[in-house]
């Protein structure tokens, strides 16, 4: 026995938007035994599998076109206006679990677009939340993941800048500064969720306090990849797992202190299973 000393980060686990969506799904599943969900309810395969076992059925936007008279959950990422228009046309009942922070951002972008602003969105190409934001502009906004993607020489000289809610505040303000340095007038809208962005700072502190870190996240989670990198920078002895079976005893030495943490899409029960696995070594 290695006698590992294992501690779970109390700040890790679902953000409130994901908690809200999953609670809504579970309430309906407990009452009705079945519910359609448009896309993965959360970017964590183990949590999705748990809810599928309770009766959740994941569908795509293509599937939605052929669905009539059913109940469909909108996940925390939100959806573009076209989804709501299709729901009316197909007599669908939408259970809207869009995160309130995301919905507020939708409204701000729509108001900005209606004023004729040139809108730029700092976010991940193809991300579900970003697709919803783009929809508020009739897909006319410019999405970029890095300032180097932008041709700043030929950009409008006055822009309105938004961000996907889960991006880094430090990177957002660095982009804001660089654009202004290049002669662009930027109307900045800080639309980043602090519950998510503060995880960055909290994890830096957490990762320094242990011999080894086990970071638990779904492989599809962009937030998970970013936060894993944060841990790895502070503690090179950081390991990424999506399931308890992926944890290996050879990573550890006798009496190591081990911190277990995760993404905003990682359920606490999964981190607890990883802890229990570690305690068996």
Instruction: Give the active site residues.
Output: 129
CA 136, CA 141: separation in Å to the nearest integer? 9
Structure tokens belonging to residue 177: 């500064």
Calculated CA dihedral for residues 262, 101, 45, 246, nearest 10 degrees: -10
Tell me how far apart the alpha carbons of residues 255 and 3 are, in angstroms, rounded to a whole number. Answer: 5
Q: Which residues contact 185 (CB under 8 A, 6 or more apart)?
A: 157, 158, 159
CA distance linking residue 72 with residue 66, whole number of Å: 13
| Angle at CA of residue 80, ends 167 and 163, nearest 5° | 20
Helix (H, G, I), strand (E, B) or coil at 125: coil
Among candidate residues 127, 104, 142, 133, the one with its CA nearest the CA of residue 40: 127
Instruction: Look up residue 33 and give its DSSP letter.
Output: S
Residue with tokens 């779904």: 218
3-state percent helix, strand, coil for the chain, nearest multiple of 5? 45, 20, 40
Distance CA 252, CA 258 (A): 9
């Amino acid at each position: 026995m290695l006698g590992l000393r294992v501690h779970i980060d109390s700040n890790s686990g679902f953000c409130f938007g994901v908690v809200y969506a999953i609670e809504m799904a579970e309430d309906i599943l407990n009452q009705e035994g079945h519910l359609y969900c448009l896309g993965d309810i959360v970017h964590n395969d183990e949590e999705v599998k748990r809810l599928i076992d309770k009766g959740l059925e994941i569908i795509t936007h293509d599937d939605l076109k052929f669905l009539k008279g059913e109940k469909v959950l909108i996940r925390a990422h939100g959806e573009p206006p076209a989804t709501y228009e299709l729901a009316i046309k197909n007599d669908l009942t939408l259970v809207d679990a869009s995160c309130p922070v995301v919905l507020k951002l939708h409204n701000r972008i729509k108001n900005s677009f209606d004023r004729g602003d040139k809108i730029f969105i700092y976010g991940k190409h193809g991300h579900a939340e970003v697709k919803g934001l783009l929809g508020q502009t009739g897909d006319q906004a410019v999405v970029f993941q890095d300032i180097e993607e932008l041709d700043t020489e030929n950009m409008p000289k006055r822009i309105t800048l938004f961000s996907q809610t889960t991006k880094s505040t430090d990177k957002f303000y660095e982009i804001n500064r660089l654009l202004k340095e290049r002669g662009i007038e930027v109307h900045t809208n800080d639309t980043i969720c602090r519950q998510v962005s503060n995880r960055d700072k909290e994890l830096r502190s957490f990762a320094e306090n242990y011999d080894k870190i086990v970071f638990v996240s779904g492989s599809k989670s962009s937030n998970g990849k970013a936060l894993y990198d944060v841990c790895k920078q502070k503690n090179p002895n950081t390991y990424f797992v999506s399931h308890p079976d992926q944890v290996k005893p050879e990573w550890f030495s006798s009496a190591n202190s081990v911190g277990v943490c995760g993404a905003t899409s990682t359920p606490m029960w999964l981190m607890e299973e990883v802890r229990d696995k570690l305690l068996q070594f």
